[in-house]
């Protein structure tokens, strides 16, 4: 069942770990089979060095277990809310990487200061609002997904494939598990670049809109020309 997706999800989890964005078990990647309505996700608390295809968990879009002996990630409900709300989303990644998490803990979005950022994110990487006590004490992981979706009411999740959850850390997504991880890697790198830029020049301002448009659209716009045909 879902053998190819399981291989992709395993590889994506290992890639995130090998890139140094995961310490201990602080993170996870999932992928969805839209046809079957099934999600493959990392099991809760399993060390990355012990992770195998057979240990991955499978749940439906309501979170009901469908296959696997291990409990799914404690963040599963967050992933499921993103799948339900972002129809083009094929995979979700979450980490507690150093720089992106620092911005989340400082309660600041990551500004779009240069072209590296613009190649992947059309504008600042947004920050969610703080969760209420009721949300935290209730269905916490589900409510985390809901505050992410709420933040994107007026934003396009395909053009900004990542977010900082207030006082928590980053989530990213993409069409595939590999692309969700790539977006997480880039999110961490541009968060680090923004940190160092503002340390060098605290008054640095966001890049010109024309430059943002040029760099984003040459990779993602209707007339994109980056890469091979």
Number of folded domains in the chain?
Answer: 1
Instruction: Say what the pTM is.
Output: 0.95
Neighbours of 45 (CB within 10 A): 11
**% of the chain exceeding 90 in pLDDT:** 91
Task: Residue 111: give the domain boundaries.
Answer: 3-220
Q: Considering only residues 67 and 191, tell me which one the structure prediction assigns the higher pLDDT.
A: 191
Alpha-carbon distance of 216 to 210, in angstroms, equals 10
Tens of pLDDT, residue by residue over 87-122, are 999 999 999 999 999 999 999 999 999 999 999 999
Has residue 229 been placed in a domain? no
pLDDT band, very low/low/confident/very high, at 174 (cuts 50, 70, 90) = very high
- pLDDT, one tens digit per residue, over 200-226 is 999 999 999 999 999 999 999 888 888
Could you tell me if residue 42 is inside a domain?
A: yes
Per-residue pLDDT tens over the stretch 6-23: 999 999 999 999 999 999
User: In the predicted model, is pLDDT for residue 67 greater than 80?
Assistant: no
Q: Quick check: is 106 in a domain?
A: yes
Section 21-49 average pLDDT: 94
The answer to whether residue 228 sits within a structural domain is no
Give the pLDDT confidence of 56-66 residue by residue, as tens digits.
999 999 999 88
pLDDT for the residue numbered 196: 98
CATH number, domain of 104, equals 3.40.225.10
Instruction: Report yes or no on 113 lying in a domain.
Output: yes
- Please state the rounded mean pLDDT for residues 28-47: 95
What are the pLDDT digits (tens) for 139-163?
A: 999 999 999 999 999 999 999 999 9
The whole-chain average pLDDT of the chain stands at 96
Distance, CA of 75 to CA of 42 (rounded, Å): 10
What CA–CA distance (Å, rounded) separates 12 from 101? 20
**DSSP E strands, the chain:** 27-33, 38-41, 57-60, 65-67, 91-95, 162-165, 169-174
Indicate which residues carry an active-site annotation: 119, 226
Indicate whether 227 belongs to any domain. Answer: no
- Judged by DSSP in three states, 6 sits in helix
| Contact by Cβ (8 Å): 79, 53 | no
Return the SS3 of 2.
Answer: coil
> Residues 43-70: what's their mean pLDDT?
91
């Amino acid at each position: 069942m879902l053998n190819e997706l399981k291989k992709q999800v395993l590889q994506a989890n290992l890639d995130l770990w090998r890139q140094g964005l995961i310490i201990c078990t602080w993170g996870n990647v999932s992928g969805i089979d839209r046809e079957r309505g099934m999600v493959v996700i990392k099991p809760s608390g399993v060390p990355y060095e012990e992770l195998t295809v057979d240990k991955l968990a499978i749940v439906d879009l309501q979170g009901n277990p469908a296959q696997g002996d291990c409990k799914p990630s404690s963040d599963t409900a967050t992933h499921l809310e993103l799948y339900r709300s972002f129809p083009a989303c094929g995979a979700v990644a979450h980490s507690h990487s150093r720089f992106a998490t620092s911005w989340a803990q400082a309660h600041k979005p990551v500004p779009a200061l240069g072209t590296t950022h613009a190649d992947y994110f059309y504008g600042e990487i947004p920050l969610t609002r703080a969760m209420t006590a009721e949300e935290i004490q209730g269905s916490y992981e589900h409510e985390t997904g809901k505050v992410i979706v709420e933040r994107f009411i007026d934003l396009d999740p395909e053009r900004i494939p990542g977010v900082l959850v207030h006082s928590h850390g980053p989530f990213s997504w993409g069409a595939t598990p590999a692309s969700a991880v790539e977006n997480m890697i880039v999110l961490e790198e541009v968060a680090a670049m923004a940190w160092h830029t503002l340390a060098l020049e605290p008054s640095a301002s966001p890049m010109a809109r024309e430059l943002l448009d040029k760099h984003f659209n040459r990779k993602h716009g209707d007339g994109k020309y980056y890469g091979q045909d």
